[in-house]
Amino acid sequence: MNPIVVVGSVALDSVRTPFGEAEEALGGSASYFAFSASHFAPVRIVAVVGEDFPVAHRELFDRRGIDLSGLETTAGRTFRWRGEYAAELGHAHTLETQLNVFSSFHPRLDRHHRASPFVFLANIDPELQLEVLDQMESPRLTVSDTMNYWIARKPERVLDVLRRVDVALLNEEEARALSGETQLVRAAAQLVQLGGKAVIVKKGEHGSLYATQEELFVAPAYPVSGLQDPTGAGDSFAGGFLGWLARTGRVDADSRRQAMAYGAAMASLAIEAFSPARLIAAQPTEIGDRVSTLHRMVEFRLEPLSK
Amino acid sequence: MNPIVVVGSVALDSVRTPFGEAEEALGGSASYFAFSASHFAPVRIVAVVGEDFPVAHRELFDRRGIDLSGLETTAGRTFRWRGEYAAELGHAHTLETQLNVFSSFHPRLDRHHRASPFVFLANIDPELQLEVLDQMESPRLTVSDTMNYWIARKPERVLDVLRRVDVALLNEEEARALSGETQLVRAAAQLVQLGGKAVIVKKGEHGSLYATQEELFVAPAYPVSGLQDPTGAGDSFAGGFLGWLARTGRVDADSRRQAMAYGAAMASLAIEAFSPARLIAAQPTEIGDRVSTLHRMVEFRLEPLSK
């Protein structure tokens, strides 16, 4: 199967939601992505942690067969994030961000990373995302994520990344901020207009939409019964999306539609527990069942309006 | 074909949006519903207007073959509503409501109204909606709408209606208010739990969802390029939904899925112009094309996650 390289953060998250809290749990965009995608294809992480990064966390990756040869350990403390979610569970309110060892991070890709056919540029400085793209040999599919922090500070670099990758992922707030459009279908169309080859807007409970010059596809969110913690939903979506394409080795438009459903399934698993615990424990049958449910949720028979 | 009776308001709307404005245009929930449903089946309006109601407006109904024998004209002025929409175009901000002749309205159904097999209870006082239900002989399908105004004032009566009709329509704000749940899939499930047979939540640009004990279906919104005025979108949705079922004479679950798509198509037409002008001018081919687009927007091939 086609390996995926992910460049992003491996962090220690402290999160509070109306349903509970977690202290210094394993988090970070590369972690959620890797656990999600590991159900589909081999994953290689490029990231940095401090000397305080727990061995137990490292073992969680090992057990899922995730390649940590690109996980640098440097002097200092691991990246930490503290946040909370209100009752709506829409957007995280960041209480504290300690970049720590992440502040001087420059991704170093070995030969086997550079040769990876599938690439996920998780939410990091767009300049670093461009550095990674420069190092890749001849990837079959490159996908990026971003966040409002970078859109506010380096909008031109975020657009540079959006133009260079095959698929750019954004959440609704980010899509609005970067495009200047309020309605999300128009926001996605505007980002395609600005040079994006394909744009995915993640809309939380409203699902996600995929837009190119030719295509508009929408996938619903899988209806979770016990939402616990939305942290990592977007990266888990990306893991299912890229994971499916890497597993099948196909990147055509129809396969991307399927990949959107696998993304939705993985996001739904991620948010059913604090930390990536539920994502790690997911079984292939339940992933498949969720995709079947999503398929049935939108299915209707086309019947013309005859006289 | 099966006739539909609609009980609701016929009004004069003054609306301002970022894209323009209309003064004393034909409006009201029964009007939007009737123009939408008239593309599918015969429609009979039960409503009241004042002596100032323009003949030209009456002719618009006549030209669409809409039965106005239940449109009472009483001494006084027609119901007037004035509102505006901000850039987000989500929710109307009401500037002025003059109930006028509507304040003492009690629906009077003739024999041919009472015998109608399909019934739409547009947004009026839930006590009046119950009066109408009491008068119906043996309808095949009853559908209700409501609004926050009634949920705030008469929540128990709104729930009485919800329990008695076959399908209850609400927008997202109303679904949250009546159910006490924030997430919309949970809100719909809670309303089913409270006794609703089937609940549709209209989510604007995010489409709509349909929930029963057994089913969960979501339809996307049709991506309009030139949104002008969201007024009447919900009633136009209802017109497409009931219209399709009345036209086919089927009310089974799979037909309701199709009906959701026809509802979305009609809502998208309504919002492309001020007043019901675009809805009136709609051609069967463009309605059909929009439903085909919606079908393609959600289509993906189910392929199992094999080893």
Q: Over 70: is that where the pLDDT of B90 sits?
A: no
Given this model, what pLDDT does residue A19 score?
A: 86
Alpha-carbon distance B208 to nearest alpha carbon in chain A (angstroms): 10
Q: CB–CB of B217 and A300 under 8 A?
A: yes
From A231's Cα to the closest Cα of chain B, the distance in A is 17
Mean pLDDT calculated for residue range A243-267: 98
Q: In chain A, which residues touch B (CB < 8 A)?
A: 39-40, 87-89, 182-185, 203, 205-207, 216-221, 223, 227, 247-248, 254, 257-258, 260-262, 284, 287-288, 291-292, 295, 297-305, 307
Chain A contact probe: residue of B303, B306, B307 with most A CBs at under 10 A: B303
Mutation for B interface: A36, A212, A297, A307, most B CBs within 10 A: A297
Distance CA B12, CA B77 (A): 10
Question: What angle (nearest 5°) sits at the alpha carbon of residue A203, between those of residues A272 and A282?
Answer: 25
CA distance A182 to chain B (A): 6
pLDDT of A93 over the 90 cut: no
Contacts of A223 in chain B (CB under 8 A): 185, 216
Beta carbons of A216 and B303 less than 8 Å apart: no
Res A127: pLDDT: 96
Q: What is the predicted pLDDT for the residue at B161?
A: 98
* Subunit contact A216:B223, Cβ cutoff 8 A: yes
Give A89's contacts in chain B (Cβ within 8 Å). 182-183
Cα–Cα dist A161/A143, whole Å: 9
Residue A87 has pLDDT above 70, yes or no: no
Could you tell me the pLDDT band of residue A38, with boundaries at 50, 70 and 90?
Answer: very high
Instruction: Please enumerate in sequence order all residues whose Cβ is within 8 A of that of A46, keeping only pairs 6 or more positions apart, or say none.
Output: A5, A6, A7, A30, A70, A71, A107, A108, A109, A113, A132
DSSP state of B194: T
The Cα–Cα gap between A217 and B289 comes to 16
In our burial notation (b when 16+ CB lie closer than 10 A, e otherwise), range A232-257 reads: bbbbbbbbbbbbbbbbbebbeeebbb
Residue B190 pLDDT class (50, 70, 90 cuts): very high
What digits encode the pLDDT tens for the residues A259-278? 999 999 999 999 999 989 99
pLDDT number for residue B306: 78
Is the pLDDT confidence value at A90 over 80?
A: no
Write the residue in B182, B205, B301 that is nearest to A183 by C-beta: B205
For residue A300, the chain B residues in CB contact (below 8 A) are 217, 219, 254, 257-258, 260-261, 295
Contact (CB<8Å) A257/B89: no
Answer with the residue of higher pLDDT: B160 or B274. B160
| Long-range pairs for B184-189: beta carbons < 8 A, 24 or more residues apart | B184/A205, B184/B209, B185/A205, B185/A221, B185/A223, B185/B209, B185/B211, B185/B216, B188/B216
Residue A250, CA distances (Å) to A117, A244, B231 in order? 11, 9, 44
pLDDT over threshold 80, residue A300: yes
pLDDT band at B95 (very low <50, low <70, confident <90, very high): confident
How many residue contacts between A and B have a Cβ separation below 8 Å? 104
Residue from B119, A272, B168, B257 nearest B159 by CA: B168
CB-based contact B298 A216, cutoff 8 Å: no
Q: What is the number of other CB atoms lying within 10 angstroms of the CB of residue B62?
A: 12
Tens-digit pLDDT profile for residues B6-43: 999 999 999 998 888 999 999 999 999 999 999 999 99
pLDDT at A159: 98
Minimal C-alpha gap between B170 and chain A (Å): 16
CA dihedral over A281, A286, A290, A292, signed as positive or negative: positive
Mean pLDDT across chain A: 95
- Mutation pick from A19, A216, A286, A303 vs chain B, by most beta carbons of B within 10 Å, is A303
> Any idea what DSSP says for residue A282?
-
The whole-angstrom distance between A24's CA and the closest CA on chain B is 28
Which helix or strand (DSSP H or E) is residue A263 part of? helix A253-270
List phi, psi (to 5°) of B268.
-65, -35
Cβ of A218 within 8 Å of Cβ of B220? The answer is yes
The shortest CB-CB distance from A300 to any of B87, B183, B261 is to B261
Band (pLDDT 50/70/90 cuts) for residue A88 is: low
DSSP β-bridge partners for residue A21: A16
Per mean pLDDT, which range of A86-100, A204-218, B21-35 is the poorest? A86-100
How many angstroms away from the CA of B278 is the closest CA of chain A?
18
Where does the pLDDT of residue A307 fall: very low under 50, low under 70, confident under 90, or very high at 90 and above? Answer: low
Distance (Å) of CA B206 to CA A206, A279, B39, B184: 6, 27, 24, 11
Nearest CA in chain A to B284: A305
* Averaged pLDDT of chain B: 95
Residues in A touching B297 (Cβ below 8 Å) = 216-218
Of A184, A221, A305, which has the smallest distance from its Cβ to B284's Cβ?
A: A305
Q: Which residue of B has its CA nearest to A304?
A: B288
| Residue-level pLDDT at A116 | 97
- Does position B303 have pLDDT exceeding 90, yes or no? yes
Minimal-distance CA residue of chain A relative to B261: A300
In this prediction the ipTM stands at 0.93
